[in-house]
């Protein structure tokens, strides 16, 4: 009997898909079912999925029209009939004890979610981000402050929590659909656990990956996601707890104005969260930006961006010299 459902949304991933699927087949924990959601691929991804399904009856293949990653994730989630579930991206791969370590941690700690470290794999180097161990509120703060990613593929979830509280992915989002889902989930959870061993390989050199390309829509998705998160926190009566982190995140989103997009789109982003410009915490944290906004000197924001970029580069170079 299966205990964990692994959900893999797939779109034109034929180049990387066999390695990803082989990683699941090689798991030391064998009580899994694999839900492959082909989101209207135009390459041979669906054929690869069917070939693997013919070899192992734990693999289920679903083919649907292309509607984007958020709907594909939800499609797979709706098919889950096991106590636990996790997501995996089709161009990534996992360690053989990926499921075993996560399952042991969530059951031994009686947790509602367990999170593991991962490796960011670039063409010439590998980075293993830190994973600070906190309580649930601390983890949400870390998500909003970009200290920990809210991605779904290094987190094991319980299906009963999503069903009881009707936790779903926001349809149509290409970015931060995972962050909003994970925070919605954590607002209903009671305990989390951590695995410090890197169990997931996040492949950063796939140029076709959706997260490698930024555009107006994806940045706008972040506005939708953060508004959704804010409402969820309001419904859970915890908005005050996360107020400062939300302000930081909102400012992070509107800071896209530094990089251009033209006058109209700069204005659009600046109007996305008008409430932060009169917020006392924002005034204290970003006083220069506050003055520029209030004096209608939007065009000067780009020079502030250049200043911050140069300063960041100098600090990095100085740090590298001391390390040597």
Residue 142: the pLDDT is 96
Phi and psi dihedrals of 82, rounded to 5?
A: -115, 160
Among 73-82, 117-126, 190-199, 311-320, whose mean pLDDT is lowest? Answer: 311-320
Among 128-142, 162-176, 291-305, whose mean pLDDT is lowest? Answer: 291-305
Using the predicted structure, report yes or no on whether residue 207 has a pLDDT greater than 70: no
- Half-sphere exposure in the Cβ direction for 189 (13 Å, CA): 26
113-121 and 93-94 beta bridge pairing: unpaired
What DSSP element (H or E) covers 70?
A: helix 69-77
Residue 213: the pLDDT is 47
What is the residue extent of each domain of the chain? Answer: 4-210, 242-323
Residue 212: the pLDDT is 47
In the predicted model, what is the mean pLDDT of residues 256-268?
65
Kindly state which CATH superfamily the domain 4-210 is placed in: Spore Coat Polysaccharide Biosynthesis Protein SpsA; Chain A (3.90.550.10)
* Angle of CA points 166, 167, 172, to nearest 5°: 115
Convert the pLDDT of each residue in 297-320 to its tens digit.
656 666 666 777 788 788 877 876
Residue, of 306 and 132, whose pLDDT is higher:
132
DSSP 8-state code for residue 90: T
Cα–Cα distance list, 75 to 68, 69, 70, 111, 272 (Å): 11, 10, 9, 25, 30
In the predicted model, what is the mean pLDDT of residues 194-200?
98
192 strand-pairing partners: 113
Using the predicted structure, report yes or no on whether residue 211 has a pLDDT greater than 60: no
Convert the pLDDT of each residue in 278-298 to its tens digit.
889 988 887 877 777 777 665
End-to-end CA, the chain: 54
Convert the pLDDT of each residue in 12-21 to its tens digit.
999 999 999 9
In the predicted model, what is the mean pLDDT of residues 60-89?
97
Q: What is the mean pLDDT of the chain?
A: 90
Contact (Cβ atoms closer than 8 angstroms) between residue 69 and residue 9? yes
Residue 210: the pLDDT is 47
Residue, of 264 and 249, whose pLDDT is higher:
249
Among 31-45, 79-93, 194-208, whose mean pLDDT is lowest? Answer: 194-208
């Amino acid at each position: 009997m299966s205990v964990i459902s692994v959900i893999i949304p797939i779109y034109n991933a034929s180049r990387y898909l066999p390695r990803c699927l082989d990683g699941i087949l090689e798991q030391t924990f064998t009580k899994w079912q694999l839900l492959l959601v082909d989101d209207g691929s135009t390459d041979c991804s669906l054929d690869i999925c069917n070939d693997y399904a013919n070899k192992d009856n734990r693999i289920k293949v679903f083919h649907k029209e292309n509607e984007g990653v958020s709907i594909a994730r939800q499609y797979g989630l709706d098919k889950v009939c096991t106590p636990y579930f996790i997501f995996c991206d089709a161009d990534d791969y996992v360690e053989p004890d990926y499921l075993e370590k996560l399952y042991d941690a969530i059951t031994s700690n009686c947790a509602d979610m367990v999170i593991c470290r991962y490796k960011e794999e670039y063409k010439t180097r590998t980075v293993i981000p830190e994973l600070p161990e906190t309580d649930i509120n601390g983890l949400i703060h870390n998500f909003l402050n970009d200290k920990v990613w809210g991605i779904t593929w290094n987190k094991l979830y319980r299906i009963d929590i999503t069903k009881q509280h009707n936790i779903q992915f926001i349809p149509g989002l290409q970015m931060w659909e995972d962050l909003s889902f994970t925070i919605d989930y954590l607002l209903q959870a009671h305990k989390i656990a951590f695995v410090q061993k890197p169990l997931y390989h996040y492949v950063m050199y796939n140029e076709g990956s959706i997260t490698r390309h930024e555009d107006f829509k994806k940045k706008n998705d972040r506005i939708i996601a953060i508004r959704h998160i804010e409402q969820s926190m309001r419904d859970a009566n915890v908005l005050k707890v996360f107020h400062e982190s939300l302000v930081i995140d909102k400012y992070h989103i509107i800071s896209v104005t530094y990089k251009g997009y033209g006058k109209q789109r700069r204005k659009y982003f600046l109007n996305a969260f008008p409430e932060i410009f009169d917020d006392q915490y924002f005034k204290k944290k970003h006083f220069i930006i506050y003055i520029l906004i209030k004096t209608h000197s939007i065009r000067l924001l780009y020079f502030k961006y250049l200043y911050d970029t140069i300063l960041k580069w100098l600090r990095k170079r100085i740090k590298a010299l001391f390390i040597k």
